[in-house]
């Protein structure tokens, strides 16, 4: 039986076992996918020993993604560019690492909002944390003319914008009014809501009608930003699809079948939110 894991600290909240468990059953594979709660100081021993423990690989989540990158023996281009790994596997006794967040982000939009990248003109990312890094790089590689990163802390915005290459622009929230009227896409990569003390002060009323709004937050599924987008007549895409799509390459690596993101899988995970 092949075993895979998701490691984080804490990790009980992770929906990954539900996703991979569904696929194992759907494809009739004799395998398992388990939570592995590992403290930061134990991560190196865990990853070095995972083969001996009978694992073929696994997912790595917060706060271990950067540390895992420094521990793998080989990394794909995406992981190397982002300095973070979310998928590992053993091959010939060597631990390999990849980052599938960008793939998941793009696949979710391709799936949920066909035509979203027709113009490839202006995209706007709110926030400059780990999730924003994968998004900025993906949009730069997809060929957007401008990848605008708005963040409270300017230095972090600049670092994330650089991942989009020449298209990257770092701005403050007070400069968004210049970009929103021509934006094709707005992505929320912060964990902020739009009410309360710490709020996201963004007015989607300035967006053109064809623009797509994607919130990476998926708890709750319908965020205030998405509600505002819908009220404004814009297409709204929630964050759950990215979670489902980023899981595909790992499952294929460990278990040898490329799984499909189906409405049944989505409904299963959605019922747990």
C-alpha 250, offset from chain centre? 14
What is the C-alpha to C-alpha distance for residues 117 and 212, in angstroms, rounded to an integer?
Answer: 9
**Token pair of 28, please?**
């009739």
Q: In what order do the strands lie in the sheet with 2-8?
A: 31-37, 2-8, 55-60, 87-91, 94-98, 74-75
Does the annotation mark 65 as catalytic?
Answer: yes
For ligand ATR, the closer CB: 4 or 163: 163
Is residue 190 involved in binding ligand ATR (CB under 6 A)? yes
β-pair type (87-91, 94-98):
antiparallel
Contact 69, 41 (CB under 8 A): no
Choose, by CB under 6 A, the member of 85, 103, 106, 131 that binds ligand ATR. 131
Q: Is 151 in the site for ligand ATR (CB under 6 A)?
A: yes
- Between 53 and 198, CB nearer to ligand ATR: 198
Q: Which of 53, 70, 111, 152 binds ligand ATR (CB under 6 A)?
A: 152
189: contact with ligand ATR by CB under 6 A? yes
Least separation in angstroms between CB 198 and ligand ATR: 4
Which of the 8 DSSP states describes residue 38? Answer: -
DSSP assigned state of 206: G
Nearest to ligand ATR of 13, 25 (CB atom)? 13
Based on the shown chain and the rule CB under 6 A, indicate whether residue 79 belongs to the binding site for ligand ATR.
no
Cα–Cα distance, 260 to 68 (Å, whole number): 27
192 versus 242: smaller Cβ distance to ligand ATR: 192
Spatial separation of the C-alpha atoms in residues 271 and 45, rounded to whole Å: 35
- Candidates 23-31, 85-93, 179-187, 191-199; binding stretch for ligand ATR (CB under 6 A): 191-199
Longest dimension (CA), the chain: 56
Residue of the chain from 42, 198, 252, 264 that contacts ligand ATR (CB under 6 A)? 198
195 is in an annotated binding site: no
User: What positions carry a catalytic annotation?
Assistant: 65
Residues forming contacts to ligand ATR in the complex (CB under 6 A) are 127-132, 151-153, 156, 189-192, 198
């Amino acid at each position: 039986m092949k075993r895979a894991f998701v490691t984080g600290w804490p990790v009980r909240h992770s929906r990954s076992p539900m996703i991979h468990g569904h696929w194992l059953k759907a494809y009739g594979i004799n395998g398992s996918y388990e939570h592995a709660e590992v403290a930061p100081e134990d991560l190196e021993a865990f990853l070095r020993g995972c083969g001996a423990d009978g694992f073929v690989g696994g997912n790595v989540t917060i706060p271990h993604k950067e540390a895992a990158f420094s521990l793998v023996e080989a990394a794909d281009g995406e992981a190397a560019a982002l300095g973070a790994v979310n998928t590992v596997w053993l091959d010939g006794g060597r631990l390999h690492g990849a980052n599938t967040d960008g793939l998941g982000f793009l696949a979710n939009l391709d799936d949920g909002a066909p035509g979203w990248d027709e113009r490839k003109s202006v995209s706007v990312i709110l926030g400059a944390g780990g999730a924003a890094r994968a998004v900025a790089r993906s949009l730069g590689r997809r060929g957007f003319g401008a990848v605008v990163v708005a963040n409270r802390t300017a230095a972090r915005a600049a670092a994330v914008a650089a991942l989009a290459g020449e298209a990257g622009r770092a701005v403050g929230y007070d400069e968004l009014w210049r970009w929103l009227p021509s934006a094709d896409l707005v992505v929320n990569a912060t964990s902020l809501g739009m009410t309360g003390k710490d709020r996201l002060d963004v007015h989607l009323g300035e967006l053109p009608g064809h623009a797509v709004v994607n919130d990476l937050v998926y708890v709750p599924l319908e965020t205030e930003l998405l509600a505002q987008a819908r009220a404004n007549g814009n297409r709204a895409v929630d964050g759950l699809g990215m979670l489902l799509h980023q899981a595909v390459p790992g499952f294929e690596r460990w278990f040898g079948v490329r799984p499909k993101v189906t409405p049944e899988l989505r409904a299963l995970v959605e019922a747990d939110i």
